[in-house]
Amino acid sequence: MNKIDKANFRKGFVNLLGAFGYLFCALQWLWAMLLYFSLINSLFLLISANSTKINIDKTPAAVGPSVGIPFIAFSVIIIVVMLALTIYVIFKVPSTIVKTGKKLVNETAEDIMPLLLKAQHKKDTKKRHLKLTSLLVLIIKIGLLITPLALSLLSRFLEKQMFDYNVVIFISLWLAGFSFISFCLQYLLAKVLAVKRQDIW
């Protein structure tokens, strides 16, 4: 194995741990959204109710079996879409989460970096660019990890609780712990294997 292959192997191994970090972060966000589902659902029903009221005022109600046929067709379409999504989730979502996480974090860091340099009144040199970008990537990862954890902990103030709060705390801390460990190991291993900060995603 030549020097370039070894470097690529080390970089790939280090970023594999980052991939696990992104996966657990995604699970954290899904868990937080599930906890706030009743609130989201209430808002959705409120918007739907207002929309339905407007439609009833403006259009006459349909009579007869024509009301049921579109509803049945719509239900069948929804079931087919849900089945297709389930198959897609099983095969594609893990790799998609990792790619999206990597892209989101790195692109956000690249977008923020010029603004940060401008605020500090510093020139955009190559060395400074790489240093700031890698630092911003780390900060964004921490934000992605902490935000859903904070949302989960604050769910105790919701009017409708979907789960026992002790269960919420346990699962939230468990997922956040795995995210934290994955990212920590990624950076620790990068240091041990001499992988450059800018090559970490």
| Mean pLDDT value across residues 66-82 | 65
Q: pLDDT tens digit string along 7-24?
A: 777 888 888 888 888 888
Mean pLDDT on 150-176: 89
Q: For 131-154, how does the pLDDT look when each residue is reduced to its tens digit (9 = 90+)?
A: 888 888 888 889 989 999 999 999
pLDDT of residue 148: 93
**What is the C-alpha separation between 180 and 201, in angstroms, rounded?**
14
Q: Please, which pLDDT band fits residue 100 given cuts at 50, 70 and 90?
A: confident
Q: Using a pLDDT cut of 70, give the percent of the chain over it.
A: 74
- Taking the alpha carbons of 60, 66, 68, 73 in that order, is the dihedral positive or negative? negative
Regarding pTM above 0.75, the answer is no
CB 21 within 8 A of CB 141: yes
Look at residues 120, 174, 185, 130 and name the one whose alpha carbon lies nearest to residue 152. 174
> Which are the contacts of 22, defined by CB distance < 8 A and separation ≥ 6?
97, 98, 101, 102
The domain ranges of the chain are: 17-37+95-199
